[in-house]
Amino acid sequence: MRAGPSPEEIRRHNLGTLLRHVHLGGPASRAVLADRMGLNRSTIMALTAELTGAGLVREELPKDTGRAGRPSLVVRPESDRVYVLAFDVGVDRLIAARVGLGGTVLDRREMVRPREGFELADVVGVLAGFARQMVRKTQSDTVCVGAGAAFCGMVRRSDGMVRFGPNIGWVDEAFGTELSRRLGLGLPVSVDNDANLGALAEHERGAGVGCDNLIYLHGDVGIGGGIIVGGRLLGGEGGYGGEVGHMVVKPVGGLACGCGSHGCLEAEVGERALLAAAERSPELIGREAVRSVVDAADRGDIAARDALHQVGDWLGIGVANLVNIFNPGLVIFGGTLREIYLGSAAQVRSRMATNVLAVSRERVRLRTPALGDDATLVGAAELAFSEVLTNPLEVLARATA
Amino acid sequence: MTATPILELRGIDKSFGPVQVLHDVAFSVYPGEVTALVGDNGAGKSTLVKCIGGIHPIDAGEYFIEGEPVHVHSPRDAAGYGVEIVYQDLALCDNLDIVQNMFLGRERKSGLVLDEATMEEMAAKTLDGLSVRTVQSIRQLVSSLSGGQRQTVAIAKAVLWNSKIVILDEPTAALGVAQTAQVLELVRRLADNGLAVVLISHNMNDVFAVSDRIAALYLGRMAAQLKTSDITHAQIVELITSGRSGDLGLQNGNGAKA
């Protein structure tokens, strides 16, 4: 049994915390950091000196403050020098980005994928190719401190194994290991479910800043969910929790779902349900098809409007269940659900007014993602940064070795 | 959910000649919230907004700002209390750029000349504060902007003046779906930044998507003012079309409160 953390552990913790403040909150003066972290200014000075020495932050005189007295130095993240690789694998699109410390997207590559033939080697090949192109363009003094990927399926977090991707037909594919091998940077790739990462990103940088109980719903072909309770992402026993798309809402007479079941929420709300109800031809798929239905509904297409109302009603039922169970302060509609929510808010909120317990609906706010379509990608970048933010000096030393 | 409304009207009457347009209207607006003002054509929405904005003097009733009774006789008075109105037709000048439009009639001067640098900086800061990333340059002529971007500039213009209450008259009426979504998100952000927003709209999806409260006018009377989370689409439609819905709204046919 130990008495408490050693001075070394405290120092490491403080370094990480300071770096996290600058990473998430943007450039801040030493005085402000001292105030936010509850430490005295000389400790802050020592910590910033160490981080500056390692090349993670730099200190600058602020521009004219307009106030009297010696200005406090501003601590800035070294966004151009320290970066991570972030990947987003959706059913229809693959994105790779180079994201600097502080969250600036420095470079990105994107590809629209055809629906057929979702092979591990193809996906990994494209992403690794994008990454190599972007890394090649960097200056020699830059350093990659991590890699993270958002994936549209159920992921084992310990090794990035995709256990099940109902809409792409994957079962137990070693995505994380394979991507790490193909990148050849000597870095492991952390992988998590895309909706989980969307929730994380909106919590740290988006609409959910300051809200510790939120639910992020991500519409792609299916519906993913990321649930943050008490400031922490709800994972469950194996990290597969939050699959709100497979909440059974209509077991009798429900539509067939990609997971093999019937009447799942995503079978009633997902892309296929909307397009089928709007009587769109089966060739039309993807985000653009969903957006065109919302657009047609706005222009008075009756089939599209009825389809949107029907889907909105089911979405409302799903959200009502979630709000009753988790009592969140915020529900965020991301991916294609952004358009669907804005186009059917009357149905969604009518369901909530009818089906959510009065005390639970007092405080819940419904929002679209502040990070827009990039929520999942930003989440992947945050996942990649998490290690350097916990143990800045060691991770950096390892990356530059 | 603050207890004191930033703007409160009580017992407002307004007549144009023999026609009484507003009868004993009460209306409250809260900071950090979007209050949707709905009603059929001719229900009195625009008249009520013009009374708030000081364009029409009120015949009777009380006007409170942050709990203090005030008298508003002109648009300048209203602006002095932090009330800004963005009208449907936007009233932007096509031949001027974004900065010039935002400062039209209230230009900053340094000495005898216009202080372009400060105005540019303030305009950029305001657009940035609203997370507006759709305009390329703030020196772009307004004539080159899309409908959604114009609406954004008009809203930013209203926010620039440290306004506390921003009233938007049908901001999404002439826009396509993608631009409507952007404007709705902007409206929401205004309120999340602490402003009180009044949104006039006929589109129930827009109203439900962003509002915290809904006030329904029926034939010049306030049928009900309710939290959006407590009401359904069907109830609101009933309030708009008949002034009542079950226990909600006006309790007898001629609209007088029971």
DSSP for B87-104 reads: -TT----TTSBHHHHHTT
The reply to whether residue B232 touches residue A354, judged by beta carbons under 8 angstroms, is yes
B183-194 pLDDT, tens per residue? Answer: 999 999 999 989
**Measured between beta carbons, which residues in chain A are less than 8 angstroms from residue B234?**
350
The reply to whether residue A294 touches residue B209, judged by beta carbons under 8 angstroms, is no
> Which residues have C-beta within 8 Å of that of residue A291, sequence separation ≥ 6?
A336, A339, B177, B178
Confidence of residue B257 (pLDDT cuts 50, 70, 90): very low
Confidence of residue B246 (pLDDT cuts 50, 70, 90): confident
B16, B38 Cβ separation under 8 angstroms: no
Residues of chain A with CATH 3.30.420.40: 82-197+375-400, 209-369
Span B42-70, mean pLDDT? Answer: 93
Query: Per-residue pLDDT for B256 more than 50?
Result: no
Q: Which of B180, B184, B208 sits opposite A349 (nearest CB)?
A: B208
Q: How far is CA B111 from the centre of its chain?
A: 35
Six token digits for residue A198: 């969307």
Q: Which residue has the higher pLDDT, A212 or B154?
A: A212
Kindly state whether A193 is in contact with chain B, defined as any CB-CB distance less than 8 angstroms. Answer: no
Dist. CA B48–CA B7, nearest whole Å:
13
CB atoms within 10 A of CB B18: 5
CB atoms within 10 A of CB B254: 9
The reply to whether residue A350 touches residue B208, judged by beta carbons under 8 angstroms, is yes
B157-173 pLDDT, tens per residue? Answer: 888 878 899 999 998 88
Interface test with A, best of B205, B228, B238 (most A CBs within 10 A): B205
List the alpha helices (DSSP H) in A107-190: 120-136, 175-183
The reply to whether residue B231 touches residue A353, judged by beta carbons under 8 angstroms, is yes
Nearest to A75 by CA among A55, A54, A60: A60
The reply to whether residue A368 touches residue B229, judged by beta carbons under 8 angstroms, is no
Q: How far apart are the first and last CA of chain A?
A: 35
Query: Per-residue pLDDT for B253 more than 70?
Result: no
Confidence of residue B2 (pLDDT cuts 50, 70, 90): low
Min distance B32 CA to chain A CA atoms (Å): 12
> Which residues have C-beta within 8 Å of that of residue A375, sequence separation ≥ 6?
A197, A198, A201, A202, A206, A216, A218, A334, A369
Dist. CA A377–CA A95, nearest whole Å:
8
Dist. CA A212–CA A215, nearest whole Å:
10
Note down pLDDT in tens along chain A; length 401 residues.
Answer: 667 888 888 999 999 999 999 999 999 999 899 999 999 889 999 999 999 999 999 998 877 656 677 777 899 999 999 999 999 999 889 999 999 999 999 999 999 887 777 789 999 999 999 999 999 999 888 999 999 999 999 999 889 999 998 888 889 999 999 999 999 998 999 999 999 999 999 999 999 999 999 999 999 889 999 999 999 999 888 889 999 999 999 999 999 998 889 999 999 999 999 999 999 988 888 888 999 999 999 999 999 999 999 999 999 999 999 999 999 999 999 999 999 999 999 999 999 999 999 999 989 999 999 999 999 999 999 999 999 999 999 999 888 87
The reply to whether residue A346 touches residue B204, judged by beta carbons under 8 angstroms, is yes
Burial of A211 (0-12, 13-18, 19+ CB in 10 A): middle
% of chain B surpassing 90 pLDDT? 55
The reply to whether residue A353 touches residue B234, judged by beta carbons under 8 angstroms, is no
Maximum Cα interatomic distance, chain A, rounded to a whole number of Å: 73
Say what the ipTM of the complex is. Answer: 0.87
Q: Which of A346, A353, A367 sits opposite B230 (nearest CB)?
A: A353
Q: What local confidence, expressed as pLDDT, does residue B125 receive?
A: 83
The reply to whether residue A345 touches residue B234, judged by beta carbons under 8 angstroms, is no
Confidence of residue B258 (pLDDT cuts 50, 70, 90): very low
Min distance B213 CA to chain A CA atoms (Å): 12
What residue spans define the domains of chain B?
A: 7-249
Q: Does domain A209-369 have CATH number 1.25.40.10?
A: no
Angle of helix B147-159 versus helix B177-192 axis, rounded to 10: 10
The reply to whether residue B229 touches residue A349, judged by beta carbons under 8 angstroms, is yes
The reply to whether residue B208 touches residue A361, judged by beta carbons under 8 angstroms, is no
Interface test with B, best of A340, A350, A365, A374 (most B CBs within 10 A): A350
Nearest to A384 by CA among A174, A165, A96, A14: A96
The reply to whether residue A342 touches residue B204, judged by beta carbons under 8 angstroms, is no
Q: Does domain B7-249 have CATH number 3.40.50.300?
A: yes
Kindly state whether B237 is in contact with chain A, defined as any CB-CB distance less than 8 angstroms. Answer: no
Nearest to A201 by CA among A378, A42, A56: A378
Hey, is B163 helix, strand or coil? Answer: coil
CA triple A5-A10-A15, angle to 5 deg: 155
Kindly state whether A368 is in contact with chain B, defined as any CB-CB distance less than 8 angstroms. Answer: yes
Name the DSSP letter for residue A24. Answer: H
Kindly state whether A353 is in contact with chain B, defined as any CB-CB distance less than 8 angstroms. Answer: yes
> A82-197+375-400: CATH homologous superfamily?
ATPase, nucleotide binding domain (3.30.420.40)
pTM of the model: 0.91
Kindly state whether A341 is in contact with chain B, defined as any CB-CB distance less than 8 angstroms. Answer: yes
**Measured between beta carbons, which residues in chain A are less than 8 angstroms from residue B228?**
349
CA triple A278-A312-B205, angle to 5 deg: 100
Interface test with A, best of B1, B121, B125, B177 (most A CBs within 10 A): B177
% of chain B surpassing 70 pLDDT? 96
Q: What is the CA radius of gyration of chain A?
A: 23
Kindly state whether B173 is in contact with chain A, defined as any CB-CB distance less than 8 angstroms. Answer: no
Min distance B205 CA to chain A CA atoms (Å): 5
Nearest to A134 by CA among A183, A175, A93: A183
List the alpha helices (DSSP H) in chain B: 45-52, 75-80, 98-102, 116-129, 147-159, 177-192, 204-210, 233-242
Q: Does domain A7-77 have CATH number 1.10.10.10?
A: yes
**Measured between beta carbons, which residues in chain A are less than 8 angstroms from residue B188?**
367-368
A74, A22 Cβ separation under 8 angstroms: no
Q: Which of B181, B206, B234 sits opposite A350 (nearest CB)?
A: B234
Q: What local confidence, expressed as pLDDT, does residue B105 receive?
A: 79
The reply to whether residue A295 touches residue B176, judged by beta carbons under 8 angstroms, is yes
Burial of A25 (0-12, 13-18, 19+ CB in 10 A): middle
Min distance B39 CA to chain A CA atoms (Å): 16
B192-210 residues labelled b (16+ CB within 10 A) or e (exposed): beebbbbbbbebbbbbbbb
Kindly state whether A346 is in contact with chain B, defined as any CB-CB distance less than 8 angstroms. Answer: yes
Dist. CA B224–CA B250, nearest whole Å:
8
Q: Which of B177, B188, B229 sits opposite A367 (nearest CB)?
A: B188
Strands (E) in A174-313, as ranges, are: 189-193, 214-219, 223-229, 232-233
Nearest to B49 by CA among A346, B38, A177, A330: B38
Q: What local confidence, expressed as pLDDT, does residue B139 receive?
A: 87
| Minimal-distance CA residue of chain B relative to A352 | B229
Kindly state whether A349 is in contact with chain B, defined as any CB-CB distance less than 8 angstroms. Answer: yes
Kindly state whether B185 is in contact with chain A, defined as any CB-CB distance less than 8 angstroms. Answer: yes
Kindly state whether A21 is in contact with chain B, defined as any CB-CB distance less than 8 angstroms. Answer: no
Six token digits for residue B197: 């927003």
Q: Which of A341, A353, A356 sits opposite B209 (nearest CB)?
A: A341
Kindly state whether B206 is in contact with chain A, defined as any CB-CB distance less than 8 angstroms. Answer: yes
The reply to whether residue B177 touches residue A294, judged by beta carbons under 8 angstroms, is yes
Dist. CA A190–CA A196, nearest whole Å:
13
Min distance A298 CA to chain B CA atoms (Å): 7
Name the DSSP letter for residue B41. Answer: T
CA-CA-CA-CA torsion sign (A303, A305, A309, A315): positive
List the alpha helices (DSSP H) in A141-258: 175-183, 194-205
The reply to whether residue B208 touches residue A352, judged by beta carbons under 8 angstroms, is no
Kindly state whether A309 is in contact with chain B, defined as any CB-CB distance less than 8 angstroms. Answer: no
